[in-house]
């Protein structure tokens, strides 16, 4: 015949995988925590500390790519000088990075 007969597996062969599979799941969660969750939490903590430390006169870049110097600070908003006699207001959370002093030279 073309099809070979199938033989049943012994009853004791299917047991014993419970603890190993549980350990595998726990190990995968630990790896996920150290590779994804922990670095994201650290990055968020650093961003919050940077936003809390903003001061008048700091030069920043927003999430939209706008460069400006802080002229006024509010609890929720930051007013930026982006050109001569041009000010915009953005949310504090939109501040992406703090630039070194002297980066923006054309704003008087």
Q: Is the pLDDT of residue 13 over 70?
A: no
pLDDT bucket at 8, cuts 50 / 70 / 90: low
Q: Is the pLDDT of residue 15 over 60?
A: no
Q: Which residues of 69-89 are buried (b: 16+ CB within 10 A; e: fewer)?
A: bbeeeeeeebbbbeeeeeeee
The H or E element containing residue 45 is helix 38-52
Rounded to the nearest integer, the mean pLDDT of the chain is 88
Q: Give the contacts of 92 (CB within 8 A, at least 6 positions apart).
A: 51, 54, 74, 76, 77, 78
What tens digit of pLDDT does each residue of 23-76 get?
999 999 999 999 999 999 999 999 999 999 999 999 999 999 999 999 999 999
Confidence (pTM) = 0.69
Beta pairing class for 86-91 and 77-83: antiparallel
């Amino acid at each position: 015949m073309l099809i070979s007969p199938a033989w049943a597996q012994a009853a004791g062969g299917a047991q014993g995988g419970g603890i190993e599979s549980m350990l595998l799941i726990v190990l995968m969660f630990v790896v996920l925590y150290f590779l994804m969750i922990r670095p994201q939490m650290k990055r968020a903590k650093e961003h919050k500390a940077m936003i809390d430390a903003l001061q008048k006169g700091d030069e920043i870049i927003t999430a939209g790519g706008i460069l400006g110097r802080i002229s006024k600070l509010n609890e929720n908003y930051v007013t930026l000088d982006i050109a001569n006699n041009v000010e915009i207001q953005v949310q504090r959370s939109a501040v992406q990075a703090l630039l070194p002093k002297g980066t923006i030279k054309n704003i008087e």
